[in-house]
Structure 1
Amino acid sequence: MPAPSAKKSKKSLKVLFVTSEIHPLIKTGGLADVSGALPAALRELSTEVRVLVPGYPKVLAGAKNKRLLHTFHDLPEADEVHLLSASLPGNGVPLLIIDCPVLYQRDGGPYQNPAGVDWPDNAQRFALLSRIGAILGSDATPLSFRPNIVHCNDWQSALVPAFLRFMHGKKAATVMTIHNLAFQGIFPPHVVTEVGLPPACFSIEGVEYYGNFSFLKAGLYYADHISTVSPTYAQEIQQEALGFGMQGLLTRRSNKLTGIVNGIDTSDWNPAADPHLVQGYDAGNMAGKTANKLALQEKMGLKRDPDIPLLGMISRITQQKGGDLLLEIAPQLLRENVQIVLLGTGETVLENGFRNLDHAHPDRVGVTIGFDEGLSHLVEAGADLFLMPSRFEPCGLNQMYSQRYGTPPIVHATGGLADTVEDGVTGFVFEPMTAEAFLASIRRALTTYHDKQAWHAIQHNAMTRDFSWKKSAEDYLALYKAVLSPESTNYRAAITTHSGLSTRHSALCFKAKPSAPSPTDESGAPARGKRGFCNPDDHTGPGPDRG
């Protein structure tokens, strides 16, 4: 049943949330979950939100209450584009759907054809998404809804800030959120003018990225503020290892870079009312957790034993997720009195390694290659410890699910894992990213497991943490208000940490640290090999008018 609409007032903050996918209509990854949940949580805080999304077949089929609002003519991407109003099934979030059959009505996914190949016209498809977002955030909008903020997400909507920067008149402020910096929307240089941006912006001081045009760089360069999905990831992307060539630009803009941890769906992930479990439980009555452990052992063909420590992992089986580390330490780990359960799919070599491990230890190891939604819930509930040794993790979700289910996670100190797991309090954190450190953290956790008083305290701490979207929405609302306030130059005061961790994890905005001057070539100009050492306030074209 749709949630009741938040009360609006004439002074309600208005946000246009631009995304290329949204749960439950169309999903390829975590962006869809954020797009379905964050706007709903913002509405509960009396924020007026509209979500702009392309009209893929599944979106048009699943959206409720569709109605034609406006028809655009003679846009660079299409002669005729319809804008529909609709609502999201389930929570009733208002949608604005771009109905353009020539670009969006096709078989396959949002970004690729049925064979898994990128659509050749993706530049045009997502330039249109950005163009409509910019129009709706400017004086040119045909709608009565006039957003204060246009919130853009990943490269597919990252041209919104660039389009707005070169438009005259009053316009919304822009927030650009990075969900995964590795995906950058790279296209040939000629696309710059094809989408209607001025040729002068194709430079290091603009949208140029190693000789090509990057949609994402356009957003990072021209947005009024940048956010990403955890405070630690906001720091990491300013370094070469995880900066993917954008670290220079992000470092220069670090005073306008914020990390806010995503929330989780606490109704779907609720051990007290989870339909996938054999028995519900909560922090005050943990008996059901043992029942789920026995059910999981039976389902995976393991010895039923409530006392043997059961380690669970649900993951893409890749090096990025640390699957190779688990395989490396498995022989030593299995000398301990433990069981291991793995659910996931990924790299063939690692999949085969886990199949062999299962075959060699059928009563100690249970491996399911593939994905099963019900089994994923049972693993979270039935395991005693959850393994998440990711090499990098912008935010992560399973570590929050695990804590909510009283299954302390063992995580590598990176990204959102470092921001949501408190070592020795709600789980166990290890560094550096080595097999030795991972094994040591598991052994430390097993020692705690056998100290029942300490173990129950960790479970209780974890289960009583608030990982709901409400806290994330409060932080985003504070950020929006700070971006709109000309007096606000430091966003630390406006926003608090998601999970209440130590100071190391709680600073959501990172001022640039004093450092050596930017690299230069012999002429004294910024070195071309170091991308992004640029000043986004030095630009051609009209500046933003917040009037």
Structure 2
Amino acid sequence: MLKVLFVSSEAVPFAKTGGLADVSGTLPRALKEIGVDARLVLPFYRMAREQKFNYKLLAEDLEVTLGKQTVKGDIRTLLTEENDCLFYLVEKEEFYDRSNLYGTPKGDYFDNAARFIFFSKMVFALCEKLNFFPDIIHCNDWQSGLIPCYLKTVYRKDPRFAKTASIFSIHNVAYQGLFSREAFDLTGLPPELFSIAGVEFWGKISFMKAGIVFADIVNTVSETYSREIQTEEFGYGLEGILRTRKKDLYGVLNGADYEEWNPATDAFIASPYSLEDLTGKPKCKQDLLKAFSLSEELLSVPLLGVISRLADQKGFDLLAQIMDKLMTMDLGFVLLGTGDEKYNELFTLIGGKYPKKTGIKIAYDNTLAHKIEAGCDMFLMPSRYEPCGLNQIYSLKYGTIPIVRATGGLDDTIQEFNPSSGKGTGFKFKQYDANKLLKTIKKALTLYNDKGKWEKLIKNAMDADFSWKISAKKYVELYRKALAKLGNPGD
């Protein structure tokens, strides 16, 4: 049986700031279902502690070094059903008992380098303590980027890890874990690694670069994004290094957790519905309007929804430019999200300016997110870039038609609807431009009035399948490729 240790800085249901948590909470379980011994390790944040799960102390006072200091940490585990994944949580109150995962709205925590160097080293201490030496350590984003580097250097001659390969998944190359030269001294890595060929990046240490350079296989969360990050526009300075790994760089689309996101079984929505029976969807629209205290007059017009982090990356600069024009049209608009202060304020103002047509909630609310997916007619994702994106996949399942920019995973998951052939699942625009977005929304609004074609589009969308089982099998293929490089066939 293939043994995989999945390392992530966040995972549902323990702690979440973004899509990485959805992937990390779901992929190991999908791997387990196809016969992989997949186990998950993440930090034991306050957010995880507050979940009041049945945690059990597994190991205490494991020692690792941070620079010249010896630091101790504990490992908690979660008692789960017999066939579920094993979960390990790295406990150190001074590092992880905080109100947020990586920082406050004012900025990142000053000691993030130490927090995630410690986490990376504790992963190895955990393996040693449990006598669990995996075939694969699957690392995710900068927070675990040092682990492939440790495998290839510090643990290179350790026979217990000799056949352990690493995979490094990039969920967003813009967040790179860049720290000062002093942070390098905490790693315990050989001094020669602070170089262009190693982990140095413009005079700093880059945890993201460490993962890219030293992992056996690198992947991103969609085919298109794996190509995009090799270009100057999307590579955030790492495009040259990524091009050197071109032969080992793959794209695997994220899957959707259809156990949670399925209108036929969703406990958060007013009425269940399915591909075979859509009668519940209008009831969900009615319930959503009520949740936002909007008039039922909007039942007869298209309702557009947004669930997102409010940031430039997500295309809110484009949306801001067209909101006044949108409000002259026959439609309603609801938004759920929080993020950059400028957008929090702007959309609060828009809500005040157009109270009869808009519902704005500056927060994250999981129940309301489900209601938006079920109750809207269309879903907007005009992202500047989008490594994969999950909400457009959820929208498909709920028959809520995605209007997206053709980038990254949005381009890979949404097929432009062709009214003549009746094929396609949504609407796309290529150029990052507010007028192009507006034109695409108008195109969708026109089709909405053709009830026959619109229903065909809804059924196409709901019929699309992006289950984790498909993605899990592709990851197993990548694990085999990584092991082949080490001459380990994997069981």
With the length of structure 1 as denominator, give the TM-score of the two structures. 0.80
1:390-431 alpha-carbon deviations (Å, 9 max, x no partner) = 111111111111111101110001111111111111111111
Paired residues for 1:172-183 under 5 Å: 172-183=164-175
Alignment-derived partner of residue 435 in structure 1: 434
Cα distance change on mapping 1:13 and 1:446 into 2, 3 Å: same
User: Deviation at 1:151?
Assistant: 0.4
Cα distance change on mapping 1:220 and 1:88 into 2, 3 Å: farther
Alignment-derived partner of residue 48 in structure 1: 37
Cα distance change on mapping 1:193 and 1:546 into 2, 3 Å: farther
SS in 2 for 1:26: coil
Aligned pair count?
A: 474
- AA partner of residue 122 (structure 2): I
Paired residues for 1:59-458 under 5 Å: 59=48, 62-64=52-54, 66-69=56-59, 72-73=62-63, 75-76=65-66, 78-87=70-79, 92-104=84-96, 106-112=97-103, 117-134=107-124, 141-166=128-153, 167=155, 168=157, 169=159, 170-300=162-292, 301-424=294-417, 425-458=424-457
Paired residues for 1:25-44 under 5 Å: 25-44=14-33
User: Deviation at 1:279?
Assistant: 1.3
Give 5+ residue unaligned stretches, structure 2: 418-423
SS in 2 for 1:66: strand
Alignment-derived partner of residue 471 in structure 2: 472
User: Deviation at 1:162?
Assistant: 0.9
- AA partner of residue 109 (structure 1): N
Cα distance change on mapping 1:384 and 1:225 into 2, 3 Å: same
- AA partner of residue 46 (structure 1): G
Cα distance change on mapping 1:125 and 1:88 into 2, 3 Å: farther
> Is the Cα contact below 8 Å between 2:373 and 2:398 reproduced in 1?
yes
Cα distance change on mapping 1:123 and 1:60 into 2, 3 Å: same
Structure with the bigger percentage of helix: 2
Alignment-derived partner of residue 462 in structure 2: 463
User: Deviation at 1:317?
Assistant: 3.0
User: Deviation at 1:89?
Assistant: 8.4
1:211-238 alpha-carbon deviations (Å, 9 max, x no partner) = 0111111111111011111111111111
1:351-399 alpha-carbon deviations (Å, 9 max, x no partner) = 4443444444433333333333322222211111111111111111111
Cα distance change on mapping 1:100 and 1:454 into 2, 3 Å: same
Alignment-derived partner of residue 494 in structure 1: none
Cα distance change on mapping 1:354 and 1:133 into 2, 3 Å: closer
Give 5+ residue unaligned stretches, structure 1: 1-11, 487-543
> Is the Cα contact below 8 Å between 2:135 and 2:164 reproduced in 1?
yes
> Is the Cα contact below 8 Å between 2:64 and 2:122 reproduced in 1?
no
**What is the CA–CA distance in structure 2 between the aligned matches of 1:459 and 1:115, rounded to whole Å?**
39
With the length of structure 2 as denominator, give the TM-score of the two structures. 0.89
- AA partner of residue 430 (structure 1): F
> Is the Cα contact below 8 Å between 1:403 and 1:463 reproduced in 2?
yes
Alignment-derived partner of residue 3 in structure 1: none
> Is the Cα contact below 8 Å between 1:19 and 1:52 reproduced in 2?
yes
1:467-508 alpha-carbon deviations (Å, 9 max, x no partner) = 22222211111211122224xxxxxxxxxxxxxxxxxxxxxx
Alignment-derived partner of residue 500 in structure 1: none
> Is the Cα contact below 8 Å between 2:164 and 2:483 reproduced in 1?
no
SS in 2 for 1:320: helix
- AA partner of residue 397 (structure 2): R
CA RMSD of aligned residues (A): 2.5
Cα distance change on mapping 1:91 and 1:469 into 2, 3 Å: farther
Alignment-derived partner of residue 420 in structure 2: none
